[in-house]
A and B are shown apart, each in its own frame.
Chain A
Amino acid sequence: AQSVSQHNHHVILSEAASLELGCNYSYGGTVNLFWYVQYPGQHLQLLLKYFSGDPLVKGIKGFEAEFIKSKFSFNLRKPSVQWSDTAEYFCAVNTGTASKLTFGTGTRLQVTL
């Protein structure tokens, strides 16, 4: 069965620092990849997604992610974080069985002023 790993469980950054959150998956076939964000007390919402084409995907709020097929990775980046980026971030993969996504365990990002 496919799996998704997010190795950073809790990340603390100062405002204006650069962010990179890791996501690795285990599946050798075609994948669709997603990053979701959950702000405190709010619902999970889509940040960005990759289906095909340019492996560098741009999402909302200045986030981007790069699909590196050879590394089975889809890391999330932002050049300069803001306090309002404090949230939990989930990587998700759709592989083989098209009807569901497999989620990572999430990374809690805390941005300090």
Chain B
Amino acid sequence: ETGVTQTPRHLVMGMTNKKSLKCEQHLGHNAMYWYKQSAKKPLELMFVYNFKEQTENNSVPSRFSPECPNSSHLFLHLHTLQPEDSALYLCASSQVDRVSNYGYTFGSGTRLTVV
């Protein structure tokens, strides 16, 4: 266990479905992130939350909707996805201050397949 727990580990959904990915961190960190990892592509930052506030949306389509109810939980709500959205979705947390990010702790990811 990394201290960052993602559920579910695997998800298969149709293009008309609505589902949510969950991330929980037990490390007391103050920042959380969603990344997309696709084969043969670099890690893509999707969203950044600092102290529950969204500080970055990296031009992510509106069919992905993040939610951060508190500093320990992060959700990614999915609706009307496309097959090209199939990927490994990674959650990470970190401790940040004004000048430094002390490094990410990643979850194990959710392997999403859109059919």
Note all chain B residues with C-beta closer than 8 A to A18: none
Verify A43–B56 contact, CB threshold 8 A.
no
B108 touches A94 (CB 8 A): no
Q: Is A75 an interface residue (CB 8 A)?
A: no
Question: Is the pair B96, A43 in contact by a Cβ cutoff of 8 Å?
Answer: no
The count of chain A contact residues (Cβ–Cβ below 8 Å) is 22
8 Å CB contact of B106 from A43, A100, A105: A43
Query: Nearest CB to that of B97 among chain A residues?
Result: A98
Could you list which residues of chain A lie within 8 angstroms of chain B, going by C-beta atoms? 30, 32, 34, 36, 42-46, 49, 51, 90, 92, 94, 98-101, 103-106
| Contact between chains at B43 and A32 (CB < 8 Å) | no
Residue of A nearest to B42 (CB): A105
A51 to B102 Cα, complex, angstroms: 9
Report the number of A-B residue pairs with Cβ-Cβ less than 8 Å: 60
Chain A residues within an 8 Å CB radius of B98: 98
A100 and B56 contacting across the interface, CB-CB below 8 Å: yes
In the bound complex, what is the Cα–Cα distance between A104 and B107 (angstroms)? 19
Given contacts A51-B100, A101-B101, contact A43 B31 (CB under 8 A): no
The reply to whether A94 and B106 contact each other, CB–CB distance below 8 Å, is: no
Decide if B33 is an interface residue (CB 8 Å cutoff).
yes
Contact residues in A for B31 (Cβ distance below 8 Å): 99
Given A46-B103, A100-B33, A101-B103, 16 other A-B contacts at CB below 8 A?
A: A32-B101, A34-B104, A43-B90, A44-B104, A44-B106, A90-B43, A94-B100, A98-B97, A98-B98, A99-B48, A99-B50, A99-B55, A100-B45, A101-B94, A104-B42, A105-B41
Candidates A46, A49, A98, A103; contact of B43 at CB < 8 Å: A103
Q: How far is the CB of B48 from chain A (nearest CB, A)?
A: 5
Judging by beta carbons under 8 Å apart, are A45 and B42 in contact? Answer: no
Q: Which of A34, A44, A101, A105 has the most CB of B within 10 A?
A: A44
Asked whether A94 and B101 contact (CB < 8 A) given A43-B106, A43-B109, A99-B96, the answer is: yes
Given A43-B108, A44-B90, A100-B48, are A32 and B100 also a contact pair (CB < 8 Å)?
yes
